[in-house]
Amino acid sequence: MFLFIFSNEFGLLFVLDSFVRIEGSFIHIEATTNIMFLADIDYCMSDGGAKILVVDDEPRFVEAHRRWLEDQYTVVVAYDGDEALEKVDETVDVVLLDRRMPTISGLEVLETIRDRGLDCVVIVVSSVKPEIDIVNNQFDDYIVKPTDQETLIELIEEWLDVRGHDQRREYRALESKREMLETQESTRTLADNDIYSNLTDRLNTLQDAISVPEDES
C-alpha cells in the first residue's frame, strides 16, 4: 500500500493503495477503489519565497530552471503560451519567459500579461539574440540562453529587490536594455537610432530623479 500526500489550494489530498503515472505537467492517480484524482505537479512542490513562473516549450530548459530554483522559490511551470496565460496571476512575482513558442509567442504572452495589469517581473530567456526594436516591449530584462544557476538566481534577486520601487525598476529595465543594445549593435548604428536615443534620454531623466549608485549608472 502506498500513501501519497499532495498539498494544493484546497488542502491536503490523501490517496491510499494507488497507481500513479505522469502525463505532461500532471500526476494522474488511480486509486484501487476506482476513484480518479488529477493533481497538478506545481502544487506538489514545497512552498518557497517568491513565486516564479517558468515558461518554455523545451522541457530540458523547463526542468533545468525548475531544478535550479525550487529550493529557494515556489516554482510553477508552463510548456507553452496558452498554459502560461492560464497560470500567471497576481500571485506570480517573476516570469521567466521563452520568446519563441508555438501558438502564442513569448512577446504575445508578455503583451497579455501587461494588458491584464499584472506587475510581475518578466525576464525574457531566449536563444534568440535581441534586435534593436525589441526594447519597446514591456519586459524587464532579457538574457540569452543557455544560462547558469548562479546567474539566474542573482538576476531574480536583483529584480525582486526593485520590484516595489517604480522608478528604480524602470531605471533597471532601461539600463538592461541599453547594455543589451550596446552589446549587439555597433556604436555607429546606435548613434543614428531614435529608439536608443530616447532610451538614453529617459535614463538620464530617471538618474536625476533618483539616487542611483555609481556602479548602476
Number of neighbouring beta carbons within 10 Å of residue 106: 25
pLDDT tens, per residue, the chain with 217 residues: 344 444 443 333 434 444 444 444 444 444 444 433 333 444 334 445 899 999 999 999 999 999 999 999 999 999 999 999 999 999 999 999 999 999 999 999 999 999 999 999 999 999 988 888 888 899 999 999 999 999 999 999 999 999 989 999 999 999 999 998 998 889 999 999 999 999 999 999 998 888 655 555 5
> What's the rounded Cα separation, in Å, for the pair 114 and 108?
10
pTM for the structure as a whole: 0.74
In the chain, CATH 3.40.50.2300 covers 51-209
Evaluated on CA atoms 29, 51, 66, 83, the torsion sign reads positive
What is the four-CA torsion angle of 43, 125, 94, 118, rounded to 10 degrees?
-110
- Those residues whose C-beta lies under 8 Å from the C-beta of residue 70, and which sit 6 or more positions away, are 45, 46, 48
CATH placement of domain 51-209: 3.40.50.2300
**Predicted local distance difference test score (pLDDT) of residue 212:** 53
